[in-house]
Structure 1
Amino acid sequence: MPTLLVLHTSLNSASSVTRDLTATFVKRFLADHPGATTIERDLVTEPVPHLHPDLVPSVLGLAPTASPDGPAAVRTLADTLIEELESADTIVIGAPMYNFMVSSALKAWIDHVYRAKRTFAYIDGVPTGLLPPGKKVILFVSSGGAYSEGAARAIDFIEPFMRTAFRFIGILDITVIRAESQASLEAANSERSRAMQEVMALST
């Protein structure tokens, strides 16, 4: 049976657009795949810490440090996050835009799942993703303004960053669904409805 990894990053727990879109997708996914395994992480209520210095050797593919305290605790968390990513067939991420970028909580998660010789490697000088093939990412992005086209597209760093981040570790199947203009009274509801229609049209 498939495994679904769900990451929430919205600070808005009451009326979050990305949480709503994610919940709708998860409900459909579980209806289509009874018995599927779901791994759900709320990076707001249970944040991943910023990358710890003790993890630097592991990130670089080197042996852990031999300091008395050791990197065991911080490495255990990173190991768990990597194992969850490796086991997942589909990764669903709710990623509201904060200052033109993903939240620092989501960036911290990405930092922890990057590990040389485990999730990526440089082979003959070429970066190569090492995650098992066949995985896909579904990214739900909400924003106060419209950044998918026009002049504002140049300051949208979420989609380019997330596509690059996952391609680097070997995930090429990436779908982005946006609910834009949420700061606009005129456009917010229609944008949210359009995004929900795209969710309902997704293949699970």
Structure 2
Amino acid sequence: MVKTGSSPSQSLQTKDLFIMAKLLQIDSSILGTNSVSRQLTAQIVASWRAAHPATEVSYLDLAVNTPSHLSAESLGFCLPAGAADLSDAQQRENAVSEALVSQFLAADVLVIGAPLYNFFIPTQLKAWIDRVSQVGRTFKYTEKGPVGLAGGKTIIVASARGGV
């Protein structure tokens, strides 16, 4: 079963879902071919494609294309689009954030490789989460707290941990 909503009544069999799905595979391990989480995401995507051959797959390798961590420049996405007072650096960082959040919002299915280093996810995965977490686009604040705006997605997290 794949849970596709916030209530049990919204759970459906995977074979009934996503005939023409857009799947985003995200790897964040720095270990390349030695990465267990990369092996897991590859197996999950292969299984998904076998069940849903029309799936369009996009790939994002955060170890290779690492978004910078939040900074004064990267917080430009918090300002209105086209704000005239954005510096060149803010405009460049805003373009990175826009590309990442657009890619996230376009995906129906996300397969995320999340290894654990020093008891936490890689910093490049955290930077990606920071970039796609945008008020008014992927969540909103309410009197009861934050509420997601990107519902209806299937998210599969492949996590691995080990020793050196």
Q: TM-score, normalised by structure 2?
A: 0.79
**1:66 counterpart = 2:85:** yes
Q: Which of 26, 33, 36 is the matching residue for 2:55?
A: 36
CA RMSD of aligned residues (A): 1.9
Contact 2:76 2:94 in 1 (8 A): no
Partner of 1:108: 127
**Amino acid of the residue matched to residue 135 of structure 1?**
K
Partner of 1:136: 154
Q: Percent identity?
A: 34
Partner of 1:54: 73
Partner of 2:109: 90
Contact 1:30 1:36 in 2 (8 A): yes
Instruction: Give the structure, 1 or 2, with the largest relative contact order (CA under 8 Å, sep 6 or more).
Output: 2
Contact 2:25 2:59 in 1 (8 A): yes
After superposition, where does 1:145-160 map in structure 2 within 5 Å? none
Q: Which secondary structure state, in structure 1, belongs to the residue aligned with residue 32 of structure 2?
A: coil
- Partners of 1:65 and 1:129 in 2: CA distance: 29
Say how many residue pairs are matched: 143
For residues 29 and 57 of structure 1, do their structure 2 counterparts lie closer, same or farther at Cα, with a shift above 3 Å needed? Answer: same
**Deviation sequence 1:49-104 (CA, Å, 0-9, x none):** 11231332534xx4246045262211111111111111111111111111100000
Q: Which stretches of structure 1, 4 residues or longer, exceed 4 Å deviation after superposition? A: none
Q: Which secondary structure state, in structure 2, belongs to the residue aligned with residue 142 of structure 1?
A: coil
Partner of 2:13: none
Question: Is there any run of 5+ residues in structure 1 with no aligned partner, and where?
Answer: 145-182, 185-204
- Partners of 2:157 and 2:70 in 1: CA distance: 23
Q: Which secondary structure state, in structure 2, belongs to the residue aligned with residue 121 of structure 1?
A: strand
Which region of structure 1 is more displaced relative to structure 2, 17-26 or 46-55?
A: 46-55
**Amino acid of the residue matched to residue 140 of structure 1?**
A
Q: TM-score, normalised by structure 1?
A: 0.64
Partner of 2:14: none
